[in-house]
Every structure is written in C-alpha cells, then in structure tokens.
Structure 1
Amino acid sequence: MPEGHTVHRLAAAFERAFGGQRVRTSSPQGRFSEAAQLDQMVLLGAEAVGKHLFLPLAPTEDVDPGAPVVRHVHIHLGLYGSWTFAGEPGFADAHAIGAPRLRRGEQEEELDAAGVTDWRRLVPRPTVRLRIAGARGLADLTGPTACEILDADGRRAVLERLGPDPLRPDPVGRERRRFIEAVRRSRTTIGALLMNQKVVAGIGNIYRAELLFRARLDPLVPGKDLSTGMLAQMWEDLVALMTYGARTGRIVTTQPEHRELEARIVERSRGTRQNGDEDPDVVPREESFYVYHRQTLPCRLCGTTVRSADLAARTVFWCPRCQSRRRRRASWTRENPAAPWALASETADGKAA
C-alpha cells in the first residue's frame, strides 16, 4: 500500500499538471459514473492527508475551495491503486505514482499506447476507474479502494477520522501534541499504534519498522510506557523521513555509512518497483532499510538476526538486541540534532554529495 509520502507527491503532481485548469473527466471502466458530473469543471488544486487524496473541482476557478458548490473527489489507493500520467514533456514530472508496478522485462506497465505518440489519442485500459485530462496531459486511476464525490461536510468527516499527518504544516506543534497524547493514553503496543491511522496518518509498514529501529524501541512496548520526550523525538524523526520521501519518491532510512553493511533484503518477489527506481543514482532498495524485509539476515549494526512477526494485521520487523524496551535513541542519531536521521551528506535529490 502506498505510504503517506507517495500521496503527497501525488497531490503535488496534480497541482503541477491540472491546477486551475478546466478538465475533462470520464470513467472508462464505468464504475465511477459520477465522473460525468465533474466534466468540464475546474480543478482548484489537490490535497493530501495521510493516505487520502482530495481533488476539489468547481464550476469556475474563482470559487472558494470551501464553498458548497465545490465537489471533492476523494481517493484512497489502497493496496493496488495507482495513477498513471501521460502528456507533453515535463507534464506532471511523473509517469506513475501509487502501488508498485509490475515489471515486464525492463519496462514498466504503461498506458495502452499501441504505438501512439500523441497522448491525446491514448486509449484507456478497461480497468481505468477515472480519467482526468487537461491541456497538456492526462492521468488514469486504476484499482483504488475508494473513489467517490464528497461535499465539504463529507470531506470534513473523513479528516475527523484521521490522526495528525507528519507532512502537513504544524507551526505551533498541535499535530505533534495530538500524536503524543494519543500514544500515551493507550495500553496498545507502539507497533500497533503506529499503524492506526487515527493515531498518526500516513505511516505504513516500512515507516513503522524503520522508525522503531531508529528509536531503538521494541514494537511491543505499550504506548503509555513511553515518555513525552521520546515520542517528540520519534515525531520529529518521522517528519524528516517522510519529508525526504515526499521530495525524492523513496523511503531511505539508513545512514550513508551503514548502507554497504549487510546490503541484502528478503522479498517474496523481485518483480516490483518503487517510485523513483527509474533513477540510476538513487540508494538501492537493499541498502535503504535497517530491518524492513530483512528477517533472517544479520542486523547492520550488531549482527543479531532480524526477526519478524504478525502485529496489527501486518508483518513487523525488528532487531531484538538493538530494540530494547527502554533504551533511548542511539548516539549516532543524537549527535547531529539538525539532521537526526542523517542524510546530511546527500543532496536535496537524495543522491550522495
């Protein structure tokens, strides 16, 4: 399932591609017949909250986003949903965002171009739930868990069900306090709480495993046992990690000096791609994580075998030696408070400096 940073990248791509434009909307699959109601409306922007995307549309571009006439297309990609973009050079600065795509040889699965070079003539696949087309390109949605039209009250109801999003602005620290309070009043394990979208919105299985390793926390520690200071550090680390992910399209949690140590990963299939894999200069997937999908392999730092178990309906990964119940953040993450997760030696594009 795409994690929160992916949805924020998706919102940014929609802003660049369609923001302020009158768009054409259709449902080639036929399962989103409401698309006809939106045809020829103006896309006012795009909003990401956790794993949810909202696309507000209105009759004219001067309408206030909160006006009753605005219709919000609410999309949750779920496990299999993705958006595929096609258009003029530079359009949206993305090809596909969402669930990992299957490889076919060395090529990603693409729109049904059949040799067509003009994006205006691209035939949508039969599985396309929603197509949005603008002046310079189009975007096709396939396989979402949710695709619906909401009014302002409906949008608000979705937001009220979600916890704080580390990638949304938090100038006064309100969202951080919400996260800390939600964790500290619960007897549930921190490993389960981090997967609860009512506690924190946007975290998926990778961020959970890696955040707990970096905090040196056993996944089974109850939330109420954690101090305010430790949770504040975890929140700030999460903000940094997800900001990097939103900027680069990659989840990378390892320190540069640890990446070549035990550079292996255990996955069921080699046929998936992450967003950003097309860049040959990105950190390889097998060097990107400390414990995620590294069960049965030695920990990069201590050599202890990384373990895995079911927790909150997903597999959690951890190092039983590094992640003791009470131990606080290791010195290698405290020494540089300006960049506690230490990609300080890399450029803004996530490449080694």
Structure 2
Amino acid sequence: MPEGHTLHRLAREQQKLFGRQVVRASSPQGRFAEGAALIDGRVLQRTEANGKHLLHYYEGSVALHIHLGLYGKFTTGTGEPPPPIGALRLRLRADSHWADLRGATACELIEPAEIATLFGRLGPDPLRRDADPTRAYQRISRSRTSVAALLMDQQVIAGIGNVYRAELLYRHRLDPFLPGNELGLDTWLEMWLDLVDLMRAGVRVGRIETLRPEDRPRKRGALSRDEAGYVYRRAGLPCRVCGTEIRTQLLVGRNLFWCPYCQASGAHHA
C-alpha cells in the first residue's frame, strides 16, 4: 500500500499539472460516472493530502476523495492519452496533461462535513504543517499495545505504512514489541523528527531510503530497493550493522521485520 509520502507527492504533482485549470473528467469504467460528470468542466482550486488520503477541491465546493488502498495507482502523461482499457476508474485531462486512476479503494465525492469527520479520525501526519507529535504520544503512552502495532494505526499517526514502521524502529534501536506506555516522550520526539525528515525525503525523490550515510553501500547515486533499507523485506539476511539474521513476524496483518540484536529489549547498541 502506498505510504504517506506517495500521497503528498501526488498532491503536489497534480496541483502542478491541473491546478487553476478547467479539468475534463470521465469514468471509462463507469463506476464513477456520476461523480466524474460533476467534476467535468470545473476548475481544480487546490489539492491536499492527509495521511493516505488525497483530496481535490473543485470550484463550486465539489471535493474528490481518493484512497489508493493496496492496488490503486495513478498514471500520468502528456499529449493525447491512450485509448481507455480495462478498469479505468477516473481520467482527468487539462491542457496537455492527463492522469488515469485505477484500482483505488475509494474514489468519491464528499461533503465538507465528511472531510472534517475523515480528518478527525486521523492521527497527526508528519508531512503536514499542522501536525502535533504530542497528540500521537498521548495515545501511545496510554496503550499497552506494542509500538510496532501502534505505528500502523492511522488514528495514532497518519501516513506511516509497513516500510516506515520497520525502518523507523530500527533506526532508533527499539524493540518492536515494547508496549507503548513504556516509550519515553524524549525518545518519541526524536523518532518523530526523524520520521519527518525521512518522509520529506520520500516526497522529494519519490521512494523510501532510510540508510544513514555511514551505512550506505556507496556514497553516491540512488540505491536500489534491495539496498535502501535496514530491515524491511530482509528476513533471513544479515543485519547491515551487526550481522544478526533479520527476523519477520505477522503483526496486525502485515509482516514486521526487525533485528533481534540491534533492537533487543532495553539495549541501545552503538
């Protein structure tokens, strides 16, 4: 599932491509035909992302809500778009650009009150200027649920997915099974600032890279997906720092990855 940096990157790109322009909208698949008809011919005023949710605000107080889910994806291009094939939920066109949406969990028009309710259910998003990390900590510090599970709860923090969860815990040498109420505020604030930096970098480059400079396999150039992290999807491989075999376990429906030495309970190794 795309993580929060992907949605913020999409919001920026789509504002650049379609913002302040008359947008032509259609639903070749037919599932969003009525909604597309209401968007068609309106000016896109602004875009916004919050957690894993993308919002388009059109003139006339028309708001489009998109949640990509596991399989949703936007494809963009210039010039004449290709003939629509398959389950093409939404096609947007303006000037010389187009964007096609497929496979999204949600693609719907929503009212302002529904947006307020949606945002009210979300925890703070590290990529938003209005984010308050202490609001997330209030929920973490009152819970006996593991930190690893809490980080995946969008009501605690909005936008974190499985990759950021595993990598953030490793970077701070935290036992993923540590109960939330045993996590200190100072440690949490350090984690939050680190997460903000990581996710902002993800928005800039369009991918997740979490290795510290001293741990990179090479000093220059983009890293491959296999090289870009410490523990995510590295089960059975040696830890990049200590050499211990990386472990995995299913937790809240997703595979957790961690190093049992670097992230041993109560241990903060150099």
TM (norm. structure 1) is: 0.74
Structure 2 letter corresponding to 1:165: D
Gaps of 5+ in 1: 59-68, 88-118, 262-279, 332-353
| Number of aligned positions between the proteins | 268
Aligned 1:229-244 pairs, distance under 5 A: 229-244=186-201
CA root-mean-square deviation: 1.5
CA contact (8 A) 1:7 1:51 kept: yes
1:161-211: per-residue Cα shift (whole Å, max 9, x none)? 1110000014xxx61111111111111100100000000000010000000
Aligned 1:97-116 pairs, distance under 5 A: none
Change (3 A) 1:221 1:143: same
Aligned to 1:251: 208
1:323-350: per-residue Cα shift (whole Å, max 9, x none)? 022345x65xxxxxxxxxxxxxxxxxxx
Tell me how far apart the structure 2 counterparts of residues 255 and 236 of structure 1 sit (CA, whole Å): 15
Question: Which structure has the highest helix share of the two?
Answer: 2
1:311 matched to 2:251? The reply is: yes
CA contact (8 A) 2:146 2:178 kept: yes
Match of 2:115 among 155, 178, 198: 155
CA contact (8 A) 1:124 1:140 kept: no
Aligned to 1:15: 15
**SS at structure 1 position matched to 2:74:** strand
Tell me how far apart the structure 1 counterparts of residues 80 and 56 of structure 2 sit (CA, whole Å): 22
CA contact (8 A) 1:47 1:54 kept: yes
CA contact (8 A) 1:27 1:129 kept: yes
Aligned to 1:323: 263
Gaps of 5+ in 2: none
Aligned to 1:78: 69
1:145 matched to 2:85? The reply is: no
**SS at structure 2 position matched to 1:125:** coil
1:27 matched to 2:27? The reply is: yes
Aligned to 1:269: none
Tell me how far apart the structure 2 counterparts of residues 224 and 135 of structure 1 sit (CA, whole Å): 53
TM (norm. structure 2) is: 0.96
Match of 1:128 among 64, 68, 88: 88
Structure 1 letter corresponding to 2:139: A
1:3 matched to 2:3? The reply is: yes
Runs of 4+, deviation exceeding 4 Å: none
Identity across the alignment (%): 49
CA contact (8 A) 1:183 1:224 kept: yes
Tell me how far apart the structure 2 counterparts of residues 327 and 197 of structure 1 sit (CA, whole Å): 28
**SS at structure 1 position matched to 2:132:** helix
Tell me how far apart the structure 2 counterparts of residues 72 and 121 of structure 1 sit (CA, whole Å): 24
Structure 1 letter corresponding to 2:49: A
Give the deviation of 1:121 after TM superposition.
5.3
Aligned to 1:207: 164
Tell me how far apart the structure 2 counterparts of residues 229 and 326 of structure 1 sit (CA, whole Å): 16
CA contact (8 A) 1:306 1:318 kept: yes
Change (3 A) 1:233 1:125: same
Give the deviation of 1:46 after TM superposition.
0.6
